[in-house]
Amino acid sequence: MTVKKSELKTEWKTEWKTEISKASKDETIIRGYNLEELTNKLTFTETIFLTLKGELPTEQQTKMLNAIFVSSIDHGIEVSSVTVARCTMAAGNQFNSAVAAGIGTLGKYHGGAIEDCAKFLEQNINENIEKIVKQSIENKKRIGGFGHKIYTTDPRTQTLFEIAKQNNCFGKYCKLAENIELELEKQKGKKLCINIDGAIGALILDLGFDSTLANAFFIISRTVGICAHVHEEKTKEKLVRRLSESEYIGETGKKL
């Protein structure tokens, strides 16, 4: 039986719309600009700003965003995103699968607290700092972007905030983050520094980005570091990784 075109249901159809880009035979447009012109005239950082925000950055915003990318590009082999990526490569997977596995590990306690921090800052910009910190501690809720496994002062934050001050990008969210750090220390009796996630969370808000986009900045940057590690694993290491140290703590000698 042949079904006439007019008899086909059409409700399932969804419209695909985008304000980001369009590629055609004649031209590729990104946020309204011709891709060839962008390729000739813009840096990668400027083009990232444009693609994510829909507008061109000022010179100072470019310097700030570039610094954010450089500061989070890599942080050693020990972190979960790199060890997982390298293990995935060593097990004989594709390069892209290994990189994706590494990126997939980013979470609230490693590289993925930026959105939590940005949302917390956004929600509490007009609140009493003493009160919000007290509430978090009482509810046993860790404030995203504060504290670090090895740092009491995160040098990456210090550098980024200095660059922000030099480039007119240190705004009300960076100030709020600094005040929360001081209040946390007062109430917890120990320094829980603004870590790299917290610094980026505050900075991207002061740059005018949406908090729901916050984790993208770390992902963009750390992908480069992970690619370098995956390539090193692929070209310089033997196949297959096994834990060199582990301890069996289960029972032994059970009989069936």
Distance of CA 255 to the CA centre of its chain: 50
- CA 79 – CA 23 distance, rounded (Å): 38
Residue 217 found at the interface with ligand COA (CB under 6 A): no
Q: In sequence order, which ranges of 139-171 are alpha helices (DSSP H)?
A: 155-166
Residue 115 found at the interface with ligand COA (CB under 6 A): no
When binding is defined by CB under 6 A, the residue of 5, 25, 149, 255 that contacts ligand COA is 149
User: Token digits for 38?
Assistant: 């962008």
Cβ neighbours around 76 below 10 Å, total:
8
The packing angle between helices 114-123 and 215-236, to 10°, is: 170
Residue 147 found at the interface with ligand COA (CB under 6 A): yes
Tell me whether residue 22 or residue 108 sits nearer to ligand COA (CB atom): 108
Closest CB to ligand COA belongs to which residue? 147
Tell me whether residue 172 or residue 188 sits nearer to ligand COA (CB atom): 188
Q: Are strands 33-34 and 28-30 parallel, antiparallel or unpaired?
A: antiparallel
The DSSP bridge partners found for residue 110 are 107
Task: Build a one-symbol-per-residue string for 159-198: x at contacts with ligand COA by CB under 6 A, - elsewhere.
Answer: -----------------------------x---x--xxx-
CA distances from 197 to 51, 53, 59, 70, 234 (A): 22, 20, 23, 14, 29
Quote the least distance from Cβ 183 to ligand COA, whole Å. Answer: 11
Residue 145 found at the interface with ligand COA (CB under 6 A): yes
Residue 148 found at the interface with ligand COA (CB under 6 A): yes
Quote the least distance from Cβ 73 to ligand COA, whole Å. Answer: 15
CA distances from 176 to 132, 158, 160, 172 (A): 12, 15, 15, 6
Stretch that binds ligand COA, among 47-55, 57-65, 106-114, 156-164 (CB under 6 A): 106-114
Give the binding site for ligand COA (CB under 6 A).
Answer: 108-109, 113, 136, 142-149, 188, 192, 195-197
